[in-house]
Amino acid sequence: MSESAAPAINPHGHGRVSDWVERFLGGVAAGGTVLDLACGAGRHLRRAMALGHPVVGLDRDVTGLADLAGRGDVEIVTHDLEAEGGLDFPWGVRRFAGVIVTNYLFRPLLPRLADLVAEDGVLIYETFARGQERFGKPSNPAFMLAPNELLRPEILGDLVVVGFEQGELPAEFTVTRAPKIVQRLAAVGPKHPWVEATPRRLGGVRGTAGGRVAIP
């Protein structure tokens, strides 16, 4: 896995912004709402806010977002995705200009992600992958993606892959300053402007319509 630049630093003290998120947030339509699932203290939704996006942060524990409460451009949702009925999202049917998921894996959620992305929206996903056990936690395969798992058609739906990487992320690009094994996906809705440029190379994958990819 190659990286060309160090990730941005979040000024709010909640960790380094993923360079993958930074790279593909630029594809979110100006002023479009960004959903950060399992957002934690909100390092990525804060970055989206800095870029002018209204945001929705969802987590079962939102205490790390207390400083954002009451802001008109922030919607904070306390919700446990893994509880019974947790995949019945509290907003009903809603699609977002951007959807971010990082360092979180709940496999029943994966086939639902495409339905959250607007037709011109962007999905940005990054989490641990098999091999991470060499560097520490997580070490249980249940919490790590299998090779190419995010490329499965039942996950992509009609999304078009514009970026995909898997492998070792060097320490200088991680929050913990330790290397980790990751799998990272960026995919867009069928009416996103980037689709017109496919096949294109972004992040090592040639994206094609209909959730299919050809890896060179």
- Which residues 6+ apart lie within 8 Å of 163 measured at CB? 20, 23, 24, 184, 185, 186, 187, 202, 203, 204, 205, 207
Tell me the pLDDT of the chain (216 aa) as tens digits.
333 343 443 333 367 899 999 999 999 999 999 999 999 999 999 999 999 999 999 999 999 999 999 999 999 999 999 999 999 999 999 999 999 999 999 999 999 999 999 999 999 999 999 999 988 889 898 899 999 999 999 999 999 999 999 999 888 877 778 899 999 999 999 999 999 875 544 444 433 333 333 332
Q: Do 153 and 212 touch, CB atoms closer than 8 A?
A: yes
pTM of the model: 0.85
Return the structure tokens found at 47: 């970055």
Pseudo-torsion of CA 63, 113, 202, 104, nearest 10°? Answer: 40
Integer Cα distance of 68 and 87 in angstroms: 25
What percentage of the chain has pLDDT greater than the value 90?
A: 73
Note the pLDDT tens digit of each residue in 96-113: 999 999 999 999 999 999
For domain 19-214, give its CATH number from 3.30.1330.90, 3.40.50.720, 3.40.50.150, 3.30.2270.10: 3.40.50.150
Q: What is the DSSP code (8-state) at residue 42?
A: -
Q: Where are the domains of the chain?
A: 19-214
pLDDT for 169-207, tens place per residue?
Answer: 888 877 778 899 999 999 999 999 999 875 544 444 433
| Residues 216, 200: Cα–Cα separation, whole Å | 11
